[in-house]
Amino acid sequence: MEKTRFLIPNISCGHCVMTIQRELGEIEGVYKVEGDPGAKEITVQWEGPATLEKIKSTLKEINYPAAE
């Protein structure tokens, strides 16, 4: 299982984190999504068939792209 932290500049509140948790939670292989609106970060625990590219593309689709 992998654990990746993302900086998400568009996060402004807890509702943003809940949206990200709901959307990423629908990806098969994503086990846990935690967020910190103050730090504008999320942490995702995942394994296959989920991929880092799929997680990043989903974040972009829902208007919360990860900072590079």
- Domains of the chain with bracketed CATH: 2-61 (3.30.70.100)
Task: Report the predicted TM-score, pTM, of the whole model to 2 decimal places.
Answer: 0.93
> Exposed, middle or buried: residue 45 (CB in 10 Å: 0-12, 13-18, 19+)?
middle
pLDDT tens, residue by residue, 2-53 = 999 999 999 999 999 999 999 999 999 999 999 999 999 999 999 999 999 9
Cα 20–Cα 24–Cα 27 angle in degrees, nearest 5: 165
Sign of CA dihedral 6, 9, 53, 47: positive
What is the rounded distance in angstroms from the CA atom of residue 32 to the CA atom of residue 63? Answer: 20
Q: What is the pLDDT of residue 44?
A: 98
